[in-house]
Structure 1
Amino acid sequence: MSRILVAMSGGVDSSVAALLLKQQGHDVTGAYMKNWINEDNVIGHCPWMQDIDDARATAEAIGIPFRVVNLMQDYRRLVVDYLLDGYQRGLTPNPDVMCNREMKFGVFLNYARAEGFTSVATGHYARRVEASTAGSVLAPTCAAEVGTSTDPTKKFALLEGADKNKDQSYFLALLSQAQLRDAFFPIGHLAKPQLRELAADARLPNARKKDSQGICFIGEVKMADFLRAYVPEHPGPIVRATDGKILGEHRGLHYYTIGQRKGIRIPSNTDNQAYVVVGKRASDHALLVAFDSADAPGLWANEAQVHSLSFIGDPITAPTRLECRVRYRDPRVAIQFTPGPDATAHIRFDQAQRALASGQIMALYHGEQLLGGAVFA
């Protein structure tokens, strides 16, 4: 039996995760990670008080202890500052990936260990499996969540969630083996309708609660509104990349990312072709745009460089055929992976990829197995 601290957000996914672990006979405690309370009155809905009430009521219904863990200072330092710094430098950061690595399986996991817990658990749609070493790639030996206490001599692999519409393995791409060893993902084998049924059968008070949308643990806040509150605007020209013609002015490069079509506020041409963002020029703060087509300069890429390479299992040290996911909702695509020095790699795509932005996270796969991740240069 493991002593597990479950990160309960107030939503149904993490609630069922706690329910299943309790039913398996583990010593389970629920905890709400208090990361953000919208002290600065950013426009948007930040329902942290309601989420705490929902998490507490659900823990009571399950019959487990509950606590609120204040991690606000760490969250501001490790996630919010990363987010704001990235956008100020013209990058496209991913706060959800960073929240998982630095907070849920970083600060929160360390807190759990200090409090005498053996593991933490979350409501991610992903599957942790015991693994055996097969060359440089970990090979899963089973297809379901391991239900016993973690063992420091064992290695684990991470698979996509069984429900491909809900799979969240992409957001776990930067986890380490040490973090995965002390993590449980109890709902990874379930489809969302099954999970809702389990919650309803157990009469959990949030069984029909809608899934939250927005920045990790901040709430339903639009990214543009969040950036407007914290990043100074720096206007610049909107420039057509094909001929250098100035088409207008933007309020700040941090509001845009490569591939963006909405919000540019430049009318389509007479053939109803829409403009798309294809680049950012730091020298004059220019936003580069072009008509959205297969030959738009800078929009499509056959290859890319990545840095900050991180592996869950053994590092891949030789050129290898793999797959990657360049965005959360994108399908896995075949690549030639060539590692370089200092945690870098060169990626060649079998099929050209659209709108790869610097700072964006790339997740590496071997079939369903998540191998690790990196950041686009």
Structure 2
Amino acid sequence: MKILAAMSGGVDSSVAAAVLVRAGHEVHGVYMKNWINEENIIGHCPWEEDIVDAEAVARQLGIPFRVVNLMTEYREKVVKYLLEGYQAGITPNPDVMCNREMKFGVLWEWAREHGFDAIATGHYARKEFAVRSSQFAVSENGEQRTENSEPVILRGADPNKDQTYFLAMMRPEQVRIAHFPIGHLLKPELRDLARELGLKTAEKKDSQGICFIGQVKMEDFLRTFVPDKPGPIVNLEGRVLGEHKGLHLYTLGQRKGIGVASPLHKQAYVVVAKRPEANQLVIAIEQADTPLLWARKAVLHSISTTGEPLDLERQLQAQPRYRCPAGGAAFRPLGGGRAELEYHEPQRALTPGQICALYDGERLLGGAVFESIGYD
């Protein structure tokens, strides 16, 4: 196959490209130039050195490499979504939208126009083929694929690095052209392979920044574009405890950086609600039964599936955010891309605007956006 490998300049995407080359594919490397930190946001935005590293790895692998400028599209499809979400008082996820709208959206359109068959990324996820009975075939290359099979995304083999959550809003047609060459590897195995191949990025630290922007804190990013709007910090009874800098700078479940000292040793305040109409940030002492912090019910909207539609009531596992276990839940479609979700056990800090990834065991079914949370 002729595969376009998205190379960020990190070790994961470097090894992904190398695995494809070893498998005999015609591989071309590409760096998505989405951001150059022209607003001088506080933080490290290493796009120039990332390009140098990605190009160096491509040269080591003997594959063509180029930079594709997608800055305009990124601002329209990801940055705009991010800023509008925070301004509306919800918590968006730019990394999830970057995958759907940019890597497997805009970049795929460019790749298809240039004769590529697929796009590969360095995500810790696996793609296999499943027949309608949900019995999995052997591998991504499709050798055992039948007319009744469909591509499915499975959690990465490394439970500490699994990144399927960030792929939850991918569409079926995007799953078909996606390759995840490192999903079968554990992170230490990937580092060893990078060293074995002598890749320049073998010892490079992993990036923890916003998707394809770099080591920029979300608060610094937001304050560059959204003006502060101070207001009262109140407790559950409405008593004023302090002043916040702007509701968009806080998220439900947040413990640190609230700006209100804890009343007693070993007690901590936590954000439990935001009230945009009164510009109030609501906090409470975190306990096992803190009001507004724990919930079992939610309404989802913008349901997106990686395969067949989720149009029937069923039991599944729902992961409310990255680095959070997926909880068992009843899923009840409401129509119009909406559904009710009822967890078997209470969940901490379910947050409107966040992405909820939906699974059947290891299989990623799709995802949705939390619309509202039910407390009872």
TM-score class normalised by the smaller sequence: over 0.9
Deviation per CA, 1:64-122, whole angstroms, max 9, x where unpaired? 00000000000011001110111111111100000000000000011100111011100
Q: Which runs of 5+ in 2 are unaligned?
A: 372-376
Counterpart contact for 2:165–2:322, Cα < 8 Å: yes
Instruction: Report matched runs for 1:42-81 at 5 Å.
Output: 42-81=41-80
Opposite residue 261 of structure 2, the aligned amino acid is P
Q: Which residue of 2 aligns with 1:115?
A: 114
1:328 aligns with 2:322: yes
Q: Which residue of 2 aligns with 1:354?
A: 348
- 2: distance between equivalents of 1:164 and 1:290? 33
Counterpart contact for 1:128–1:146, Cα < 8 Å: no
Counterpart contact for 1:151–1:181, Cα < 8 Å: no
Shift of 1:151: 10
Q: Which residue of 1 aligns with 2:167?
A: 172
- 1: distance between equivalents of 2:10 and 2:212? 11
- 1: distance between equivalents of 2:65 and 2:148? 31
Counterpart contact for 1:128–1:184, Cα < 8 Å: yes
Matched position secondary structure for 2:102: helix
Counterpart contact for 2:321–2:356, Cα < 8 Å: yes
Shift of 1:147: 6.4
1:84 aligns with 2:83: yes
Instruction: Report matched runs for 1:213-224 at 5 Å.
Output: 213-224=208-219
Q: Which residue of 1 aligns with 2:374?
A: none
Q: What is the aligned length?
A: 371
- 1: distance between equivalents of 2:41 and 2:310? 43
TM-score (normalised: structure 1): 0.96
Counterpart contact for 2:131–2:148, Cα < 8 Å: no
Shift of 1:145: 3.0
Q: Which residue of 1 aligns with 2:4?
A: 5
1:124 aligns with 2:123: yes
Q: Which residue of 2 aligns with 1:161?
A: 156
- 2: distance between equivalents of 1:154 and 1:56? 37
Counterpart contact for 1:126–1:168, Cα < 8 Å: yes
Counterpart contact for 1:96–1:215, Cα < 8 Å: yes
Q: Which residue of 1 aligns with 2:363?
A: 369
Q: 1:217 to 1:146 in 2, by over 3 A?
A: same
Counterpart contact for 2:127–2:154, Cα < 8 Å: yes
Q: Which runs of 5+ in 1 are unaligned?
A: none
Deviation per CA, 1:308-358, whole angstroms, max 9, x where unpaired? 001111112221111111111011211011111111111111110000111
Which of 196, 206, 209 is the matching residue for 1:211?
Answer: 206
Counterpart contact for 1:177–1:312, Cα < 8 Å: yes
Matched position secondary structure for 2:323: coil
Q: Which residue of 1 aligns with 2:18?
A: 19
1:187 aligns with 2:182: yes
